[in-house]
């Protein structure tokens, strides 16, 4: 059933209501649904539930949908991102039935008499309009993954510390079958039990190496916000990262999904445009996949790698990036360290600039490739970091379509 013109007007007219009451609606939605259908706790991120981040994100999505109800093209990037994540979690069409039922019920609970029959019917049609688009999109994504249509068992072949906070996990499929290639920048979901939650949980981690038919590599940052002995620890993220770092050992099994994600570099393209990789912290992981993939293909395009970390101790892959820049004339590297340690961190060797990343201090041609209007820019890090880098790049004349960003966790791309 398609929305009528009158229903489109009704849904759009509810945007101010959703802006005011959206978080209350989504909090009621998640609370009632996860209580009545507890098995869904295995799908939804419990850390984001505890912090309220998921409720806030959904409220924002509902407001955006109501605002752009007759211009869904404006929502295409957000829908693509959500569908990629759903595909990586193997969300099924029947899940949309459950979500629709509880979302409309939550609207009624919070809005009461303000949710008239006309508004309820309009939102029911609107929900299924979007749900059917997403179901179709996710089915098409699933068809592209050959026979990999469900969680697959992998063995942790190696754990390699990359810094004081980041460890790489080399994952090999238990069935011994060759792994499909992925697009550098994409992620996999990994799922494991979290005993203290009584649920399994899945998280997305960027693949951090060039495609290899024998293994996938992810590099996971430990989130210290989780205090294991704190009775209020459910309020903090870090469940899976701490399980991986502390409990999962070499030889242990873990469930893995097929690679997914809309943030990637097309290394198969014949383009000779420069590539500028800008990252902070563990945002280095998808950039390592891009760098290693380009080098594996002996690409001659200019590659500029700009990385910011709090300290040298927490910075991962520093030696690898420096070695690539030394060996390959088309690769350059710039390092920002928040707080260099006197007597340990040597300027020009361990870092080039102290403090926060500032594109204004960099060489406009060598580091930022502003002399080539075809240059592509990939940015990954915290929302604050990406917002700042995006604004700086646009201020330097880089068009938005040449800037691609990857967001950690729940939330919109800050461009």
Contacts of 33 (CB under 8 A, 6+ apart): 40, 98, 99, 102
Query: Which residue, chain included where needed, has tokens 């992981």?
Result: 285
pLDDT digits (tens, 9 = 90+) for 173-184: 999 999 999 999
Per-residue confidence (pLDDT) for residue 103, from 0 to 100: 97
Q: How many CA atoms lie within 13 A of 196 on its CB side?
A: 17
The single residue of 65, 96, 127, 170 carrying the catalytic annotation is: 96
Q: Does domain 5-144 have CATH number 1.10.3720.10?
A: no
The two three-digit tokens of residue 57, written as one number: 């994100």
Domain map (residue ranges) of the chain: 5-144, 152-260, 275-407
The answer to whether 383 is a known catalytic residue is no
Rounded to whole angstroms, the Cα distance separating 258 from 285 reads: 18
Helices (H), 278-415: 284-296, 318-327, 383-395
Per-residue confidence (pLDDT) for residue 235, from 0 to 100: 43
> DSSP secondary structure string, 42-86?
GTS-HHHHHHTHHHHHHHHHHHHHHHTTT-GGGGHHHHHHHHHHH
Rounded to whole angstroms, the Cα distance separating 302 from 330 reads: 5
The two three-digit tokens of residue 389, written as one number: 């880098």
Query: Which residue, chain included where needed, has tokens 């294991």?
Result: 228
Per-residue confidence (pLDDT) for residue 409, from 0 to 100: 58
- Indicate the pairing of strand 187-194 with strand 199-206: antiparallel
Per-residue confidence (pLDDT) for residue 91, from 0 to 100: 93
Per-residue confidence (pLDDT) for residue 342, from 0 to 100: 87
The single residue of 30, 90, 127, 138 carrying the catalytic annotation is: 138
The answer to whether 96 is a known catalytic residue is yes
275-407 sits in which CATH class?
alpha beta
Residues (pLDDT < 50) of the chain are 226, 228-229, 231, 233-235
Per-residue confidence (pLDDT) for residue 219, from 0 to 100: 98
Q: How far is CA 337 from CA 91, 309, 313, 347, 353, in A?
A: 40, 5, 10, 10, 6
Rounded to whole angstroms, the Cα distance separating 29 from 246 reads: 34
Per-residue confidence (pLDDT) for residue 237, from 0 to 100: 54
Contacts of 198 (CB under 8 A, 6+ apart): none
152-260 sits in which CATH class?
mainly beta
Per-residue confidence (pLDDT) for residue 411, from 0 to 100: 53
Specify the 3-state DSSP secondary structure of 157: strand
Per-residue confidence (pLDDT) for residue 234, from 0 to 100: 46
Q: Are 294 and 350 in contact (CB under 8 A)?
A: no
- Model pTM above 0.85: yes
């Amino acid at each position: 059933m398609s929305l009528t013109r009158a229903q489109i007007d009704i849904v759009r007219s509810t945007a101010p209501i959703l802006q005011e009451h959206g978080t209350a609606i989504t909090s009621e939605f998640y609370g009632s649904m996860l209580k009545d259908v507890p098995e869904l706790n295995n799908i939804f991120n419990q850390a984001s539930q505890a912090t309220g981040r998921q409720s806030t994100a959904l409220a924002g999505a509902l407001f955006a949908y109501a605002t752009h109800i007759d211009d869904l093209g404006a929502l295409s990037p957000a829908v693509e991102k959500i569908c990629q994540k759903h595909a990586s979690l193997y969300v099924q069409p029947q899940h949309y039935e459950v979500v629709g039922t509880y979302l409309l019920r939550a609207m009624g609970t919070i809005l009461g008499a303000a949710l008239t029959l006309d508004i309820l019917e309009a939102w029911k049609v609107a929900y299924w309009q979007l749900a059917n688009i997403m179901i179709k999109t996710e089915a098409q994504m699933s068809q592209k993954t050959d026979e990999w249509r469900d969680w697959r068992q992998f063995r942790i072949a190696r754990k390699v510390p990359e810094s004081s906070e980041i460890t790489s996990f080399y994952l090999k499929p238990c069935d011994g079958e060759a792994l499909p290639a992925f697009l550098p920048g994409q992620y996999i979901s990994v799922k494991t039990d979290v005993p203290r939650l009584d649920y399994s949980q899945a998280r997305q981690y960027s693949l951090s190496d060039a495609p290899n038919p024998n293994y996938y590599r992810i590099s996971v940052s430990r989130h210290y916000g989780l205090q294991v002995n704190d009775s209020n620890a459910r309020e903090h993220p870090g469940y899976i990262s701490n399980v991986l770092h502390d409990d999962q050992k070499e030889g242990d099994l873990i469930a893995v999904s097929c690679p997914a994600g809309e943030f990637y570099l097309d290394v198969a393209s014949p383009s000779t445009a420069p590539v500028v990789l800008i990252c902070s912290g563990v945002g280095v992981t998808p950039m390592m996949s891009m760098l290693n993939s380009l080098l594996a293909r002996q690409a001659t395009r200019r590659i500029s790698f700009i990385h910011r970390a709090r300290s040298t101790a927490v910075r991962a892959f520093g030696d690898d990036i420096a070695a690539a820049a030394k060996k390959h004339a088309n690769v350059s590297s710039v390092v920002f360290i928040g707080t260099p340690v006197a007597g340990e961190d040597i300027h020009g060797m361990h870092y080039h600039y102290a403090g926060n990343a500032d594109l204004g201090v960099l060489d406009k041609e060598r580091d930022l490739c502003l002399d080539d209007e075809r240059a592509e820019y990939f940015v990954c890090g915290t929302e604050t970091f990406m917002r700042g880098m995006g604004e700086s790049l646009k201020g330097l004349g880089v068009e938005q379509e040449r800037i691609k960003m990857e967001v950690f966790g729940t939330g919109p791309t800050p461009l």
